[in-house]
Amino acid sequence: MASGFFAILDDIGALMDDVAVTSKIATRKTAGILGDDLAVNAEKATGFLANREIPVLWAITKGSFINKLIIVPVALLLNAFFPIAIQVILVLGGFYLAYEGVEKIVEYLFHRRKSGQEVVQEAILDAAAAEKAKVRSAITTDFILSVEIVIIALGTVLNRSTTIQVVTVSIVAIMATVGVYGIVALIVRMDDAGYHLIKQSDNKGFRAKLGTILVKALPIVIKTLGVIGTIALILVAGGIFVHNIDFFHGLLPSLPGILTEVLIGLLAGLVALLAVFIGKKMLSSFQRN
């Protein structure tokens, strides 16, 4: 009886050792996309009033956990019974990411800047609606990025048992959400930490200087994350097309891989943007008639 109990403990210990190894490998493989995920979601979780930053971030984080709860079992089932569907989902997600990235660029380059009065009026009238829209957009983008994270993690354990696949992918999914949004929370509260340091030091000494740096750095960090997040959207989209569509693989061999992925991401985004524009025009014309 006792020997059977200890045998079970040995099996559990061996399983945990295997999971630790596979999780380490999977995390290393997904490091690049996790960096892109951080940049994209940090940009989407900022730009709110100070008293709304944490509630908004918590709403996005809950959405991210729900995304993972959906994606992990579906990915495991599709991989077992219908693996081609994973590629189709990734490609469709790639178009969405490319569309979001290119739309940001087009809006920055061609849309008229609004006056202060217009901005104030919109802030008063549409603050709640804008917040909900941004949260929805962030959760949708998180879903696409989470699909790729889960697929990459699953790809590292395809030759292992089903138990190890489930546990490894689940661990990576949880670590992705906790890690990414934990860092985002630190970023969005950076100015509050700075104000606290300044207040506690009576605006004197090293802590006051550090607090001032944190306060002044936040707007720069947010703008930088906006740029990095846009580039990441396009780069991730291009990478999805290159790795999942044979036609794009090695299409421009003379160019560095990262530049090829950016160009393909931009092209896909322009196609998606044009398709959405035409679709809206057709829908508007249909509604008028």
Q: What tens digit of pLDDT does each residue of 236-247 get? A: 888 888 888 888
pLDDT of residue 65: 92
Whole-number percent of the chain with pLDDT over 70 = 77
pLDDT at 215 over 70: yes
pLDDT at 84 over 50: yes
pLDDT of residue 4: 53
98 or 116, which is more confident? 98
126: pLDDT confidence band, cut at 50, 70 and 90?
Answer: low
207: pLDDT confidence band, cut at 50, 70 and 90?
Answer: confident
- How is residue 7 written in tokens? 């045998």
Task: Sort 180 into a burial class: Cβ within 10 Å, 0-12 / 13-18 / 19+.
Answer: buried
Q: Is the dihedral of CA 201, 206, 211, 216 positive or negative?
A: positive
Give the orientation angle of helix 162-188 with respect to helix 2-29, to 10 degrees.
50
Task: List CB contacts of 260: < 8 A, sequence separation 6 or more.
Answer: 238, 242, 248, 251, 252
In angstroms, rounded to a whole number, what is the distance separating the alpha carbons of residues 10 and 7? Answer: 5
pLDDT of residue 119: 46
165 or 112, which is more confident? 165
Mean pLDDT, the chain, rounded, equals: 78
70 or 204, which is more confident? 70
Residue with structure tokens 């421009």? 252
pLDDT of residue 264: 92
Tell me what the mean pLDDT of segment 138-156 comes to. 83
* Dihedral angle of Cα 136, 137, 139, 144, to the nearest 10 degrees: 140
DSSP string, 180-241: HHHHHHHHHTHHHHHHHHHHHTTT-HHHHHHHHHHHHHHHHHHHHHHHHHHHHHHHHHHHHH
> What spatial distance separates the first Cα and last Cα of the chain, rounded to whole Å?
79
- How is residue 224 written in tokens? 């930088």
